[in-house]
Amino acid sequence: MPAIRFLPFAEFLSLEKAAQLLLFFILATMPLLFGAVHPVVQGFYTILILVGLGGWLLYAAQEWEWKGVLRSWMLVPLLLVVYLAAQSLPLPLSVIEWLSPVRASRIAMVNLLAKTNLTSVSLSENGAAGLQVAIFLFSLLLYYMALGTLLRRDKKRITTILLIITAVGLFEGLYGLLQIMNPQLGILWLPAVSGKAATGTIIYKNQYAMLLNMCWPLAFAGGLLSCESISDSSHRGSQKKGLRGRLLSLAALPVQTHFFFLSAGIMILALLFSFSRGGILSMLLLFFLLYLFMPVSRRIKLGLMGLLFVFLAGYGSFLGFDGLVRRFSSIDESGLTRFHIYASSLPMLRDHWLTGIGPDSFKLLSGIYLKEFPENLLFDRVHNDYLELAIEIGLPMALACCVWIVRGILSAGKKIRAACQSVPEENQAAVFAGCASFCALLGFLAHGLVDFGWRLPANSLFAVTLLALISLTRDDCSENHS
């Protein structure tokens, strides 16, 4: 009997194919277990990226499109990684006294009261957390380079990325709506909380809303992209048969078009019932940005948004908008509380303006600085990602990050706007995905003004995914105009 011959693994599944599958797996599953908020789960995905995608990048180093992936603008994120790691390293107390006098005075008080003799400490109040954040951010840089490399080698992968993001958003949206219809459902194995809003598998509703606001614009773009003749068919139907022609034209669209648009509607509906005011306001901003940037006719955009409004009004009235109205009726009281948190946190920034207190350290000092709040109420977040970032890493580094963000937005926006003027058929997927990603990323950044959605690892991963899609569109635009 002849021996069974197995194909070598390299012939059966190339390393590039394996890297692609690993990247898709990370993107599809990271939000499902509470958004990877638990350090063990976050560590698991960090290892997958460092070893799997990082190892593939090292192996394929000679084949990289270095010019298209690794750029000078990545110096600021790399500097941030190094800075966070340095913040976590123990330094002589004499150095701490020079860099952060308030931190040094607290250590001196600890030595006095606890009878200890600490001679070296880190600048960070929570060194272990700072080192964990630094490693995770470095893994996100590797993820960005791996995704950028894969997309530039085969742009057909853009469609797969859109499908994965839509599927994740659809699952989270349906889960959230089930939580509204069945308040006892809870979050995975966690028991339900009385009066809880839609949160899907994400514990905090504002982080859940931020995730959906990164998913539904990509689903919207996928719906437009999946039907190449949408403009012509709508135009013919509207000319010949009026409203009936339009309805027939919509019914004749491909199945995947209906899937994308229906998924977007379900996500937006779930987002409304998350009762996240910041998320809903960011969603309204996204509507305006998509109307402004998406490279399709005004008639199509207005028609699709009209259908979406009818969908939301119909199913939303079935679930009831009472909770949403009550939520927004208390926005003045909640806004005043947020303002007091910001104002009470400013002295913390003043005392540590140069070096910061380190990631995940606000909760350790909030009891000292937030004196106007009840003693039994502990705030572990500032509810403003930008202010908390400045407190954690200091003003100089925070300003460098903010300048980097603003310059990136202006540069990408200008090039994407130019790409929307003329969309070659071969670059249609990149332009549609890039425009939707740019709008979603702006909504992500805007929501950070009133919440801390950046702190969810899954949200950070999706934001980096959007950044890679934007970079691909920007580069295509540069090549076409060169």
Annotate the chain with three-state secondary structure.
Answer: CCCCCCCCHHHHCCHHHHHHHHHHHHHHHCCCCHHHCCHHHHHHHHHHHHHHHHHHHHHCHHHCCHHHHCCHHHHHHHHHHHHHHHHCCCEEHHHHHHHCHHHHHHHHHHHHHHCCCCCEECCCCCHHHHHHHHHHHHHHHHHHHHHHHHHHHCCCHHHHHHHHHHHHHHHHHHHHHHHHHCCCCCECCECCCCCCCCCCCCCCHHHHHHHHHHHHHHHHHHHHHCCCCHHHHHHHHHHHHHHHHHHHHHHCCCHHHHHHHHHHHHHHHHHHCCCCHHHHHHHHHHHHHHHHHCCCCHHHHHHHHHHHHHHHHHHHHHHCCHHHHHHHHCHHHHHHHHHHHHHHHHHHHHHCCCCCCCCCCHHHHHHHHCCCCCCCCCCCCCCCHHHHHHHHHCHHHHHHHHHHHHHHHHHHHHHHHHHHHCCCHHHHHHHHHHHHHHHHHHHHHHHCCCCCHHHCHHHHHHHHHHHHHHHHHHHHHHHHCC
Residues 473, 481: Cα–Cα separation, whole Å: 12
Query: Is residue 23 within 8 Å of 147, Cβ to Cβ?
Result: yes
Inform me whether the pLDDT recorded for 6 exceeds 70: no
Q: Render pLDDT for 155-167 as a digit per residue (tens, 0 to 9).
A: 889 999 999 999 9
Q: How confident is the model at residue 1 (pLDDT cuts 50, 70, 90)?
A: very low
Q: Render pLDDT for 198-210 as a digit per residue (tens, 0 to 9).
A: 999 998 999 999 9
Inform me whether the pLDDT recorded for 115 exceeds 70: yes
Mean pLDDT of the chain: 84
Cα distances (Å, whole numbers) of residue 282 to 278, 288, 449: 6, 10, 10
Q: Render pLDDT for 131-179 as a digit per residue (tens, 0 to 9).
A: 999 999 999 999 999 999 899 888 889 999 999 999 999 999 999 999 9
Length of the chain: 482
Residues 272, 279: Cα–Cα separation, whole Å: 8
pLDDT given at position 190: 87
Q: Which residues fall within 8 angstroms of residue 380, CB to CB, at 6 or more apart?
A: 362, 363, 366
Top-confidence range, 262-266, 296-300, 310-314, 470-474: 262-266
Q: Render pLDDT for 59-113 as a digit per residue (tens, 0 to 9).
A: 775 555 544 455 677 889 999 999 999 999 999 999 999 999 999 999 999 989 8
pLDDT given at position 299: 79
pLDDT given at position 414: 86
Which range has the worst mean pLDDT, 97-106, 267-276, 313-322, 453-462? 313-322
Inform me whether the pLDDT recorded for 380 exceeds 70: yes
pLDDT given at position 424: 66
Q: Which residues fall within 8 angstroms of residue 110, CB to CB, at 6 or more apart?
A: 116, 118
Inform me whether the pLDDT recorded for 10 exceeds 60: no
pLDDT given at position 214: 97
Inform me whether the pLDDT recorded for 237 exceeds 70: no
Query: Which has the closest alpha carbon to 385: 445, 325, 441?
Result: 445
Mean pLDDT across 235-261: 61
Top-confidence range, 109-118, 210-219, 236-245: 210-219
Query: Which has the closest alpha carbon to 449: 384, 391, 401?
Result: 384
Which range has the worst mean pLDDT, 116-120, 134-138, 331-335? 331-335
Mean pLDDT across 424-438: 84
Residues 245, 241: Cα–Cα separation, whole Å: 4
